[in-house]
A = this chain, B = another copy of it.
Amino acid sequence: MSRVINKSPLLNQATREKVEAVIADLGYVPNPQARALALRRNFLIGLIHDNPNAQMVLGVQEGILDTIRKTEFALVVRPVDRHSPTMFDDIRHFIEQQRLYGVMLLPPISENDELARMCRDLGCTVVRMGSARLDDDAHLVASNDRQAVSEAVAWLAELGHRRIGFVAGPEGFRSARERELGFADGMTRAGLATEPELAARGDYRFESGLAAGAQLLSVDRPPTAIFCSNDEMAAGVLHAARARQIDVPDDLSIVGFDDTATAAHIWPPLTTVRWPIAAMAQAAASKLIDPANAASQPSFFLSDLVRRASTVPPRE
């Protein structure tokens, strides 16, 4: 019977149909625990992440679930701490213990090649989510951050901005790097020079945005627009502007990245870049549960610019 369920190629049509009829008749459902024992691998897919942001993690969970809902797979999650010295061992133990079928890695830990290799060596398929080509198509879903940022800058230039500030993400993060490259692309394409005094670096957190904003807004000729590498820092820049009585958006346009809940709820609502998280997670889950067809699932996803009230033409 297991031959029917597992679609073994060597059995004839008649028997198969007969067995299938009986299966349907009895309402038989295979027991995943028994299969797991026999196959030495569980029908579980693991989501390993270091909480890049709550909305994203939850969006990914929902996307994965959409894909596995009608299957026998279940989703098991594992938040980890990338600063913990035991992270590798924790993850190894987790995968071995649960005999995971596959794991999905979220940024920023998805950028760690060594981690991905370890998971693979443990005999478990890996799909990484990221903002650049971190891996081959079968093991990757990525957003094209570079292009998205470049387009956001183009939009600011189109509005008439000439002095555009940039708040980078933390060094060592691939997403931060891609966004930097995208910013440079956009400026070049718009024929604008990037000035060092209009660039600051943050760590993707609110407070660092506050500091970066204070820095960029205190130069002699402050920017009329600032692109921030994520929404949280954009909120920080907004607060920094407010503290200096600089009106947003009239005196300063701000663009963020991620389209978190915050982006829509702050004032003014933030123009930002939105990842198609659900679609990415669905594709990733498909790759995980069906590695044979993994490469045929889409790997690259275009983010789009959500235009809100935080961006207007510069004041004359």
Contact = CB atoms under 8 A, between A and B. Distances in A.
Interface string A51-70: 10011011001100100010
Contacts of A74: 44, 76, 78, 94, 97-98
Given A29-B97, A57-B58, A267 B265 contact: no
Given A238-B267, A267-B238, A75 B76 contact: yes
A36 interface: yes
Given A44-B76, A54-B261, A61-B77, A33 B99 contact: yes
Contact of A37 (B34, B79, B90, B97): B34
Nearest to A96: B29
B65 A79 contact: yes
A286 interface: no
A32 B72 contact: no
B62 A79 contact: yes
12 contacts: A32-B97, A33-B37, A33-B42, A33-B99, A51-B58, A58-B58, A61-B77, A72-B97, A74-B78, A235-B266, A262-B262, A267-B267
